Amino acid sequence: MSYDNDNKGSIWKNEKREKDTHPHFTGSATIEGVEYWVSAWKRGDDASDKAPALKFSFKPKQERQSAPAAPAKGSDFADDDIPW
């Protein structure tokens, strides 16, 4: 039996936090088969360490690559120039 980790994630205290803009917690999550880095900030300075209210940010671990742009008309690399 395999473990289904989809739509789940985890975060830990950010031991490398140096500035107020750095997240308090970091981790990862898998959402609909896509892996994300997770960053979380306490919503208030008086937030409990055991049960803080958090604000989350998700960033894909692998950015999707966009399709290459088509050559402009009059370009040296028009489709007719490809020999195959």
Q: Output the tens digit of pLDDT for each of the chain's 84 residues.
A: 677 888 899 999 999 999 999 999 999 999 999 999 999 998 887 777 777 788 888 899 986 555 555 555 555 555 555 555
d(CA 23, CA 40): 5
Amino acid 26: pLDDT: 95
- List the beta strands (DSSP E) in the chain: 8-13, 25-31, 34-42, 54-60
Q: What backbone phi and psi angles, to 5 degrees, belong to 31?
A: -125, 120
Amino acid 28: pLDDT: 95
Amino acid 22: pLDDT: 94
Asked if 28 and 35 count as a contact pair (C-beta separation under 8 A), the reply is yes
d(CA 43, CA 53): 6
Amino acid 50: pLDDT: 75
